[in-house]
Amino acid sequence: MGSEDLKKKKIDENKKIRANKKDIRRNNNYRQIIPKILILTEGVSEKIYFDGLKNRFSLSTLSVIKSEYTDSVGIIKNAIKIAEESIQNHEPFDYIFCIFDLDTVKDKNFINELINYENQNSKQPKVKIFPIYTYPCFEIWFILHFDLCIKPFNSKGKKSIGDTAKTYLKKYAKGYNETNKKCIEQFIDNYKEALNNSMKLIEWQKDNESINPICTIHKLVKLLENINQRNHEGYIFTKDHEEKFIELYI
């Protein structure tokens, strides 16, 4: 082999070494930007669903916990406590999502709690906490796995507005109750339909100036899907016009 051939071989080997190092750096950065997420739920059904989605998407950086509280302010305070502890333990979450029903929320005190949290020591790094809305209750998200439901729900006799939504859901899932793990996990097979229906529903409601029914679960599920598909451009979650629209009606 001549000197020119040896020179060319050396150049090719160096190119491969640089390419391998670049791939290693890219893969390391990839791992670093996958967000660490906590979903804090109001009830059992939400926890079952997101635990199932965690398994479906193989999300090792996702945790799902049922909150100690069921009211909106209590859930937000619980999230703030967990966020601060995670920072103190040097294992901070990137996002904490608080899922709660809006049918029993009568004021915006939980939003004030979030504002106070964000304003305290504003120069210090903070875990980003976002409420995820469902009206009247989480079951509207389940319904959207089967049906683009735009019909408003109302209390009827001894049934609360949430109870009427649960009755409607049983048109599609007769065995549903809030602890029926097998039934709830089966909904996940239709999650893409729920994504599309939920996005259509919120646009419909904006046109009709109503939040009955509505939810923003699709934004959270889309984030989790992006992580599963390693779509790093979709790892960012922000509050936008959808949340602001819903908050006008609280």
State the pLDDT at residue 30: 43
Total structural domains in the chain? 1
What number of helices (H) and strands (E) belong to the chain? Answer: 10, 5
Q: Does the residue 18 lie in any domain? A: no
pLDDT at 6 over 90: no
pLDDT at 20 over 90: no
Global confidence as pTM: 0.86
Q: Does the residue 152 lie in any domain? A: yes
Q: Does the residue 85 lie in any domain? A: yes
Q: pLDDT confidence of 12, banded at 50, 70, 90?
A: low
Q: pLDDT confidence of 21, banded at 50, 70, 90?
A: very low
Q: Does the residue 243 lie in any domain? A: yes
pLDDT at 19 over 70: no
Question: Cβ neighbours of residue 69 under 8 Å, at least 6 residues apart?
Answer: 75, 77, 78
CA pair distance 233, 51, nearest whole angstrom: 24
The lowest-confidence range among 6-20, 97-111, 202-216, 219-233 is 6-20
Domain that holds residue 90: 34-248
Question: Cβ neighbours of residue 205 under 8 Å, at least 6 residues apart?
Answer: 150, 211, 212, 214, 245
pLDDT at 82 over 80: yes
Q: pLDDT confidence of 89, banded at 50, 70, 90?
A: very high
Q: Does the residue 5 lie in any domain? A: no
The overall average pLDDT reported for the chain is 90
> Mean pLDDT throughout 197-220?
98
Q: Does the residue 23 lie in any domain? A: no
State the pLDDT at residue 123: 76
Q: Does the residue 7 lie in any domain? A: no
pLDDT at 25 over 90: no
Q: Does the residue 20 lie in any domain? A: no
Q: pLDDT confidence of 232, banded at 50, 70, 90?
A: confident
Question: Cβ neighbours of residue 105 under 8 Å, at least 6 residues apart?
Answer: 72, 250
pLDDT tens-place string over residues 172-194: 999 999 999 999 999 999 999 99
